[in-house]
């Protein structure tokens, strides 16, 4: 079943001087693990931002779970419930502890404070950082911060996990651990996992790889 | 959960920035209120309605009036009473030897039973005996020169005993020294008076009586209490305008400080706002949080700024050493400082937050 459909999506910057996405069309199946690969400036992060409703196309349609995002006035609920976004530079809030950072998406959830703590701790444990739950991000290593960002992205049980170069700033060993966590969660909660990377080895871990260059799909294939 | 924007250093810097603005408004507010108050207190009305002086009298320096003129004035229609008053100022040389640390002393001589015409009615202690070396002094004069009842005041080479201290609430009057007219005439070797204080009959128009006196005696000038008060109103009006200008300046300086601090503080958070939006926070929720934080910041700053404003004003007044001037604490000063700060703080805080919350999350995330 197709969860995500992009139809002729165009996105330009600098008054049309730069075309990030050039009338791109594709679809992604529910529960799949997809990698998007391409060189720097190819448009892969822009594509991921479209899928996460963080940005809107200049033209074309982004349809997720049957909903055309352009028809939605406020996408904040959609982002909170459906999307778990893992940024390349994690974007944790520096003044909050690990646990508080993970609890941010639960702010408006209809649950008691105790349940919020319990849920956050469940994911902090899943990424192996239970002993660091009271630490601030500046006391953590790059890999640990990325794992906190993953826990924050997953705490609402999103149906789509989007990860923008999640291993880009990490060494090979730490990067592998982070990928293990992502794959484990993807399998555990049956979420659709989409990873942007420029690393072909990482891309090969996915069921399917979409290759992008100059804002267009130049290759789309299954790895197994 | 804790406020995600909480940052001790940033909050402390914001509070200092805003508090400086509030301190400026409070300090200048207290000083201008004090200025207005001292001028108004200075120019309260005295007891007599008309003061008659020699027309050649310029600034009280010359031109005395013959004492017999007092009785003549009593016979003018609608004059109920009149009393002569002599004022003698100590020479600079004697002033240097006197106990007064501030200024030379002017002593007024007036019949003790007629002190009410000079506006003095409430004397603590005794009133001087006629033709004695006794004086009563104003409360402000006593404070400034550290005199109390029983002390001796040296004047024109004579020692006068302070037998009473009076208080009228009139700053100029309370800075005076009064003694027996005959004694002052005696030691200054004159039998004339500097001015005649005229009390008019109940219900009559003072201006008409004043004009009658001038018509009858060409060589005198008169000043009614109404004329005096209208002159003083003019002075107060000028002072009011000056204090309004100073307050306005303080408000502008303070408000710019507050708005600058808040705008910078919230602009710095644009990226954090982007993170929260990308996680699914609604713009309204982000704005509510910043509004709440702005209120806490400005209120805290208001308290700290007010305390500093008071300290600055108090220390400043003491350092400059303006004798007799005191700060006036009115709720208006503090309400104004708090009101301006909170309104300006909210505009300064919420406007950039509103702008940031309207950005696409990706744009806010790119903000550095």
- Domains of chain A (ranges plus CATH)? 32-53+71-222 (3.40.50.300)
Q: What is the pLDDT of residue B289?
A: 83
What token pair was written down for A110?
């209809």
Residue B58 reports pLDDT greater than 70: no
Q: Say yes or no for a CB contact (<8 Å) between B362 and A77.
A: no
Residue B41 reports pLDDT greater than 60: no
- Side-chain-side CA neighbours of B97 within 13 Å: the count stands at 10
Q: Each residue of B150-183: pLDDT tens digit? A: 998 888 888 899 999 998 877 778 888 999 999 9
Domain locations in chain B as residue ranges: 8-42+233-366, 56-218
Helices (H), A84-217: 98-103, 113-126, 142-154, 172-189, 200-204
- Dist CA B300 CA B304 (whole Å): 6
- Dist CA B342 CA B350 (whole Å): 11
Q: List the single residue in B with minimal CA-CA distance to A99.
A: B1
Residues of A with CB under 8 A from a CB of B: 49, 52, 54-56, 74, 76-81, 83, 85, 87, 91, 93-96, 100, 103-105, 107-108, 116, 152, 156
CB-nearest partner of B1 from A80, A83, A100? A100
Q: Say yes or no for a CB contact (<8 Å) between A80 and B281.
A: yes
Q: What ipTM goes with this model?
A: 0.86
Residue A145 reports pLDDT greater than 60: yes
Q: What confidence tier does B101 reach under pLDDT thresholds 50, 70, 90?
A: very low
Q: Say yes or no for a CB contact (<8 Å) between B280 and A77.
A: yes
Cβ–Cβ under 8 Å, residues A158 and A82: yes
Sequence-ordered list of residues with C-beta below 8 angstroms from that of B328, at least 6 positions apart, any chain: B30, B33, B34, B36, B37
Segment B282-296 shows an average pLDDT of 84
Q: What confidence tier does B96 reach under pLDDT thresholds 50, 70, 90?
A: very low
Q: Say yes or no for a CB contact (<8 Å) between B360 and A56.
A: yes
- Pairing assessment for the beta strands B158-166 and B152-155 based on DSSP bridges: antiparallel
Q: Say yes or no for a CB contact (<8 Å) between A80 and B4.
A: no
- Count of residues in chain B: 368
Q: Each residue of A175-195: pLDDT tens digit? A: 888 888 888 888 888 899 999
- Count of residues in chain A: 224
């Amino acid at each position: 079943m197709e969860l995500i459909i992009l139809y002729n999506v165009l996105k330009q910057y600098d008054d049309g001087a730069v075309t990030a996405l050039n009338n791109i069309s594709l679809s992604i199946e529910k529960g799949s693990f997809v990698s998007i690969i391409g060189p720097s400036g190819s448009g892969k992060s822009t594509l991921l931002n479209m899928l996460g409703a963080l940005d809107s196309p200049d033209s074309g349609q982004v349809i997720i779970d049957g909903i055309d995002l352009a028809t939605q006035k406020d996408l904040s609920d959609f982002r909170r419930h459906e999307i778990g976004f893992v940024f390349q530079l994690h974007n944790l809030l520096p003044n909050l502890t690990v646990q508080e950072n993970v609890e941010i998406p639960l702010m408006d959830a209809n649950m008691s404070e105790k349940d919020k703590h319990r849920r956050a701790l469940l994911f902090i444990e899943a990424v192996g950082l239970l002993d660091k739950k009271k630490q601030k991000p500046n006391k953590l290593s790059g890999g640990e911060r990325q794992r906190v960002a993953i826990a924050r992205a997953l705490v609402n049980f999103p149906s789509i996990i989007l990860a923008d170069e999640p291993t880009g700033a990490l060494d090979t060993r730490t990067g592998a651990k982070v990928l293990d966590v992502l794959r484990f969660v993807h399998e555990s909660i049956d979420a659709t996992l989409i990873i942007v990377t420029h690393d072909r080895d990482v891309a090969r871990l996915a069921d399917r790889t979409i290759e992008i260059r100059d804002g267009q799909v130049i290759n789309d294939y299954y790895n197994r | 959960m804790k406020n995600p924007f909480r940052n001790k250093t940033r909050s402390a810097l914001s509070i200092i920035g805003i508090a400086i603005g509030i301190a400026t408004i409070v300090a200048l507010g207290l000083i201008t209120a004090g200025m207005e108050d001292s001028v108004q207190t200075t120019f309260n009305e005295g007891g007599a309605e008309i003061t008659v002086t020699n027309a050649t009298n310029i600034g009280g320096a010359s031109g005395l009036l013959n004492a017999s003129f007092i009785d003549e004035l009593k016979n003018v229609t609608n004059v109920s009473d009149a009393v002569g008053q002599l004022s003698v100022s100590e020479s600079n040389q004697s002033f240097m030897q006197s106990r007064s640390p501030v200024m030379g002393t002017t002593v007024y001589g007036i019949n003790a039973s007629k002190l009410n015409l000079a506006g003095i009615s409430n004397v603590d202690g005794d009133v001087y005996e006629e033709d004695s070396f006794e004086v009563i002094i104003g409360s402000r004069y006593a404070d400034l020169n550290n005199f109390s009842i029983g002390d001796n005041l040296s004047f024109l080479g004579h020692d006068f005993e302070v037998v009473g201290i009076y208080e009228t609430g009139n700053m100029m009057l309370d800075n005076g020294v009064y003694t027996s007219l005959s004694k002052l005439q005696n030691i200054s070797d004159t039998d004339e008076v500097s001015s005649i204080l005229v009390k008019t009959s109940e219900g009559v128009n003072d201006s008409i009586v004043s004009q009658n006196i001038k018509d009858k005696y060409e060589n005198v000038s008169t000043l009614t209490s109404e004329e005096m008060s209208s002159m003083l109103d003019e002075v107060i009006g000028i002072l009011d305008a000056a204090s309004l200008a100073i307050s306005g300046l303080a408000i502008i300086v303070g408000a710019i400080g507050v708005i600058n601090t808040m705008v910078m503080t919230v602009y710095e958070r644009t990226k954090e706002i982007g993170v929260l939006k990308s996680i699914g926070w609604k713009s309204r929720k982000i704005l509510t949080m910043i509004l709440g934080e702005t209120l806490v910041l400005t209120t805290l700053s208001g308290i700290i700024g007010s305390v500093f404003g008071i300290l600055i004003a108090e220390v400043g007044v003491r350092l400059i050493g303006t004798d007799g001037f005191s700060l006036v604490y009115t709720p208006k000063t503090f309400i104004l400082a708090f009101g301006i700060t909170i309104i300006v703080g909210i505009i300064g805080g919420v406007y950039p937050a509103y702008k940031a919350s309207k950005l696409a999350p990706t744009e806010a995330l790119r903000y550095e």
